[in-house]
Amino acid sequence: MIGNILHTFGSRIFIAILSFLMLLLNANYLGAEGLGTVGLLILNITILILISNLVCGSIIYYSSRLNTANLTINAYLWILISLLLFFGINRIYPLVEKSLEMHFYFLAFIQASMSVHLFLLLGWEKIKQYNFLSLLQSITTILTLLVFYLFIKDRSIFAFIYSLYIAYSIVWLLGVILTIPHLPKPKLNELIPSFRKSFSYGFYAQAANTFQLLNYRISYFFLDAISGRAALGIYTAGVQLSEALLLPGKSISTVQYSRISRRKNENYARRITILFMKVSFLLTAMGTILLIAIPADFFSFLLGKDFSQIKPVLWGMSFGIVALSAEVILSHYFSGTGQQKMNSLSAFIGFAITIVGCFTLIPAYGALGAAISTSASYSGMFIFLFILMIKDKKSKPIEFLPSKRDLQLFKHFVRKFTKK
């Protein structure tokens, strides 16, 4: 397991570096307004993915429990239904700009389909293949973006869109090649029962994820409407820089969830969750201190003069990012042990805090208000899950403090890995 974590962490470091380069390119060539448009497009694709994951998201959990061919068929059918649902929503309340609407639907379909095969790999604990495809997507996007910006001289939002087309399509096709040959023969008589189980599990999982997405991103819509697209662009850059600090937690939780789902041992799940939470918290805290210590002039130099006010956003996000680094580990514990309702409640609490912040802080403080409300939301989610972990008396508060036993356990994991 430690090998998978280190491999995932290494891959995500590289992805984070590429994401940072992409942020630099988009910020310098598209400006604050263009970066705001990019943020809204990606947000809407993410919303569509959330709808599709009502079924697709259960693949990891059920890959060792149900026929994976049935899971795949149901996933693709639900993706098409999700597109129709979003189309209807967009007719009632336009979330996507008309000039980008068709591109949005094609990109969303490709990414959702790509996710199906990535989830299969993750459910089978083929972590290295999963990491390779994730890394390839980032590499392909940045390379094609460089071609459009520097060689073709297309410095519009469409250059970014075409880069996504190429990257998503390549990874999707490779995902198909790596997974389809290993699927068993589908059992058509079990398709509907399989769908029901997937939807039932996915409903609670995506209820949590939907509220979490709203916690993370609903401020985009408020900020765009109240303070303008340029303010949204500054906030988007601040969010991307801050969320890069979640790299340790996301790397650990990816492997943690896969392992917990397959081992089905709650005591084991609890022990590794507490250890991993402490590691994630400490690493993210150190990264946050370094980030906010960087002078504001340096960010203006990197991103351009449009982003001279990004430092307050980073300060506003800092406490919440540290809290979220621990929350992401705890939430994967509840997911991996089938307790999705707890994550849904946690995310709803965070959503309520975000809404209050959006109505009170954004009108007064703009991008800084959005950062503070988001930070408060992250902290509320962590506190709720932390209380749940100790409420059943299976975990004591003192267990969450660093100890010599943690160091010994970590050394054991490292030795086990280096002997392989």
The model's pLDDT over 86-122, given as tens digits with 9 standing for 90+, comes to 898 888 888 888 889 999 999 999 999 998 999 888 8
Question: Would you mind telling me the total number of residues written for the chain in this entry?
Answer: 420
CA 287 to chain centre: 19
Residue 255's pLDDT is 67
Q: In the predicted model, what is the mean pLDDT of residues 265-280?
A: 76
Residue 400's pLDDT is 62
Q: In the predicted model, what is the mean pLDDT of residues 358-385?
A: 92
Q: Which of 42, 240, 38 is nearest to 159 (CA)?
A: 38
Mean per-residue pLDDT of the chain: 82
Residue 409 has pLDDT above 60, yes or no: no
Report whether 217 contacts 236 (CB < 8 A). no
Residue 207's pLDDT is 65
Residue 254's pLDDT is 67
List pLDDT tens digits, range 115-170. 899 988 888 878 788 888 988 998 999 999 999 999 998 988 999 999 999 999 99
Residue 395's pLDDT is 60
Q: pLDDT confidence of 420, banded at 50, 70, 90?
A: very low
Residue 189's pLDDT is 82
Residue 174's pLDDT is 96
Region for 345 from its dihedrals, namely left if φ exceeds 0, alpha if ψ lies in -120 to 50, beta otherwise: alpha
How many C-beta atoms lie closer than 10 Å to residue 177's C-beta? Answer: 10
Q: pLDDT confidence of 399, banded at 50, 70, 90?
A: low
Q: In the predicted model, what is the mean pLDDT of residues 331-346?
A: 77
Q: In the predicted model, what is the mean pLDDT of residues 46-60?
A: 79
Between 113 and 255, the higher pLDDT residue? 113
Q: Which of 329, 28, 47, 291 is nearest to 155 (CA)?
A: 28
- Maximum CA extent, the chain: 63
Q: What percent of the chain has pLDDT over 70?
A: 83
- The domain spans of the chain are 2-418
- Burial of 402 (C-beta count, 10 Å sphere; 0-12/13-18/19+): exposed
Q: In the predicted model, what is the mean pLDDT of residues 187-194?
A: 84
Residue 398's pLDDT is 59
Q: Which of 1-10, 325-334, 403-412 has the highest mean pLDDT?
A: 325-334
Residue 9 has pLDDT above 70, yes or no: no
Residue 413's pLDDT is 53
Q: In the predicted model, what is the mean pLDDT of residues 77-85?
A: 91
Between 411 and 94, the higher pLDDT residue? 94
Q: pLDDT confidence of 418, banded at 50, 70, 90?
A: very low
Report whether 81 contacts 21 (CB < 8 A). no
